[in-house]
Amino acid sequence: MGNRHDTAYKASIENPDDFWGKAAEACRWFRKWDKVLDESESPFYRWFTGGETNTCYNALDCHVEDGRADQVALIYDSPVTNTIKKYTYKALRDEVAKFAGVLAAQGVAKGDRVLIYMPMIPEAVMTMLACARIGAVHSVVFGGFAPKELATRIMDAQPKVIVAASCGIEVSRIVSYKPMLDAAIDMVDSKPDRCIIFQRPQEPASMIEGRDLDWHDVMDTAKPHDCVPVRATDPLYILYTSGTTGQPKGVVRDNGGHLVSLKWTMKNVYDVDPGDVYWAASDVGWVVGHSYIVYGPLFQGCTTILFEGKPVGTPDAGAFWRVISDHKVKCMFTAPTAFRAIKREDPQGELIKKYDLSCFKSLFLAGERSDPDTLNWAESHLGIPVIDHWWQTETGWAISGNCLGLHQFPIKHGSTTKPVPGWNLDVVDAECNPLKATEIGALVVKLPLPPGTLMTLWNNDEGFKAAYLDEFPGYYKTADAGYVDEKDYVFVMSRTDDIINVAGHRLSTGAMEEVLADHPDVAECAVFGVADDIKGQLPLGLLVLKAGVDRNSEEIAKEVIQMVRDRIGPVASFKTATVVKRLPKTRSGKTLRGTMQKMADNVDHRVPATIDDPAILEEIDEALISIGYGRGRGKKV
């Protein structure tokens, strides 16, 4: 028997013009498109050419006009400042219109770039929407990025104006933004005309006369600005993602396709309706924050939550449950790392029992592989669907997932369920030959990509083709590896370069991590390949134990080694594991397996700018030396 998901998927692949044209009818246009899919300059496909719209109008103004003026649009919940503030659609629209006027008064016009360097505060959201309102292209840089990394983004985007906050606030410290911004601007030749600084009372910043303006001062005299019609194919934003060379890649998103795809996902993927409360526990500096804190929920007329806190420590591992209960969250989206941290601190889920979560209907996870142990824990304690779905900065929304608004498939742990409508997913070998069901290979998407994905890289069309299109002609290279089973369930095992070759056998480190995570004492883990003279590579496992475990760590390591032998087999050659206090991660929660692999192999490596806490690498270095890797390679242990 068919279902709505399969029907929608078939229609999206066989007749994308009709499928996405119907989806676009739910959005507001100043001028209707001439063509839904424009293939005239392939591989640079464009959606809704000839159409004119405005992203901010679809996020705010249309809801005010349609009777949602007094509905809450944005809830700012900040346990680090002990603040909760709510903005209705009308109030948020008015603030955004005023700041759009501020930008216009500083000479910012359609097509100009505005760089945003702010923490999780409402003014960050207002700035993004204000840029969209006047047709400016925003580029959000994660608050607290080091001056060198910030400078590379300033040099590439060449913003006319930079909007920043004086500081960010972590659980136990204040991060000074302004000195890092000043240092970054000193490094670049093409300097912004103005910097607009939002002074936070926790640490006001010194201002540079003639360049810096105070947010509050300019807002006091601002004149509201109307929405400016832009072409559907005009860029909305640039979002930088790390490149293999160490140079950031500026992913470019358009206005029209972005609007249509994100609005479509809110009901069809997440099953949320206008008026529902939706929470993406991420950061506006990441793609999840763009798509599902700011734009997607507001396109749908939802209430969205901006959370300035952590899953643990603000004040405890019950922080998420408090937010869900207080604000009546229906659907939440976060990273598996957050739930592993909660599970580690509260393995029995005792804090969950303190809150009324009857409003909570679904939990979505993405950003890295969701290990079955974490999924099991969340399911058993929450009693709701826990959906692992897969997407990337470049894609802007889910490639595969369990689309609750279309048809809820049975959940298979370790799988991101099925390709989402619009995504023509294949699995191929290195020569681009299709592989059979269950065979591991490169996960690729047949061109053209659906709307809302990257158009190109900023000022780098050739780099776009080289990074994503050239290796597998006719396909977008996800750089992820995995397989699709006989029932079309997608299994994303690891990044392509995390498939290790052990004596000629291609093995997934993700499959090994699933086994390790199944050990009752293991909170989280990482497996990566290390160089071996005989077998080419051997897997190495690092384990973080659950809170309160006081067993001998060497015994636990022996047990997980035996588990891998029993479940995967001797072919895995999994013989080394050790316990560490914590794993190095990016600020968005991704474990830095590649960095640890280079450390273990004792080769030069670049510490990613996105690392959450560089001090963790010293602990990892010591752990690797203790088992004969890293700087201890070749030494008898």
Distance of CA 501 to the CA centre of its chain: 29
What number of CA atoms fall less than 13 Å from residue 35's CA on the CB side? 9
Q: How many other C-beta atoms lie within 10 A of the C-beta of residue 353?
A: 11
> Are the C-beta atoms of residues 593 and 526 closer than 8 Å to each other?
yes
Q: What is the pLDDT of residue 265?
A: 98
Rounded-to-integer distance, Cα 267 and Cα 297, Å? 10
Strand-pairing partners, residue 213, are 196
Q: Which residue has the tokens 């994303």?
A: 492
> Domain map of the chain by residue range?
4-309+389-482, 503-632
> Are the C-beta atoms of residues 53 and 259 closer than 8 Å to each other?
yes
> Are the C-beta atoms of residues 600 and 629 closer than 8 Å to each other?
yes
Tell me how many degrees the CA angle 65-102-64 measures, rounded to the nearest 5.
Answer: 10
Q: Which of 56-70, 155-169, 208-222, 605-619 has the lowest mean pLDDT?
A: 605-619
Q: Evaluate the omega torsion of the peptide bond into residue 224 and state whether it is cis, within 30 degrees of 0.
A: no
pLDDT tens readout for residues 22-43: 999 999 999 999 999 999 999 9
The two tokens of residue 405 are 């608004």
- What class, spelled out in words, does domain 503-632 have in CATH? alpha beta
What architecture is domain 4-309+389-482? 3-Layer(aba) Sandwich (3.40)
The two tokens of residue 200 are 């936070």
The two tokens of residue 498 are 């995390």
Whether 302 shows a pLDDT value over 70: the answer reads yes
Rounded-to-integer distance, Cα 206 and Cα 533, Å? 56
Q: What is the pLDDT of residue 636?
A: 42
Q: What is the DSSP string of 416-439?
A: --EEPTT--EEEE-TTSPBPPTT-
Q: Which residue has the tokens 């920043």?
A: 164
SS3 9: helix
The dihedral through the CA atoms of 465, 470, 472, 473 has a sign that is positive
Give residues with Cβ within 8 angstroms of 464, minimum separation 6.
454, 456, 457
Confidence band, pLDDT 50/70/90 cuts, at residue 2 = confident
SS3 408: coil
> Are the C-beta atoms of residues 335 and 361 closer than 8 Å to each other?
no
Whether 632 shows a pLDDT value over 90: the answer reads no
Bridge-based pairing of strands 441-446 and 418-419 is unpaired
Q: Which of 224-233, 390-399, 488-497, 510-519 has the lowest mean pLDDT?
A: 488-497
Whether 50 shows a pLDDT value over 50: the answer reads yes
Q: Is 488 left (phi over 0), alpha (psi -120 to 50) or beta?
A: left
Higher pLDDT, 174 or 594: 174
pTM: 0.86
Q: Which helix (H) or strand (E) holds 163?
A: strand 161-165
Rounded-to-integer distance, Cα 544 and Cα 524, Å? 5
Strand boundaries in 421-559, DSSP class E: 425-428, 441-446, 475-484, 490-495, 499-502, 505-508, 522-532, 536-545
Q: What is the pLDDT of residue 212?
A: 98
The two tokens of residue 322 are 């408090």
SS3 48: strand
pLDDT tens readout for residues 378-406: 999 999 999 999 999 999 999 999 999 99
Confidence band, pLDDT 50/70/90 cuts, at residue 637 = very low
Rounded-to-integer distance, Cα 406 and Cα 404, Å? 5
Rounded-to-integer distance, Cα 127 and Cα 131, Å? 6
pLDDT tens readout for residues 407-432: 999 999 889 999 999 999 999 998 99
The two tokens of residue 514 are 């699933």
Q: Which helix (H) or strand (E) holds 382?
A: helix 372-382
Rounded-to-integer distance, Cα 233 and Cα 33, Å? 10
> At residue 510, what is the residue type?
G
Q: For residue 259, with 0-12 CB atoms within 10 Å meaning exposed, 13-18 middle and 19 or more buried, which class applies? A: buried
Whether 507 shows a pLDDT value over 80: the answer reads no
Average pLDDT estimate for 513-529: 93
Rounded-to-integer distance, Cα 627 and Cα 576, Å? 8
pLDDT tens readout for residues 78-105: 999 999 999 999 999 999 999 999 999 9
Whether 532 shows a pLDDT value over 90: the answer reads no
Return the closest-CA partner of residue 506 out of 516, 497, 518. 497
Mean pLDDT, the chain, rounded, equals 93
What b/e sequence results for 432-464 when a residue is b if at least 16 CB atoms lie within 10 Å of its CB, and e otherwise? eeeeeeeebbbbbbebbbbbbbbbbbbebeebb
Give residues with Cβ within 8 angstroms of 381, minimum separation 6.
349, 352
Q: Which helix (H) or strand (E) holds 400?
A: strand 400-401
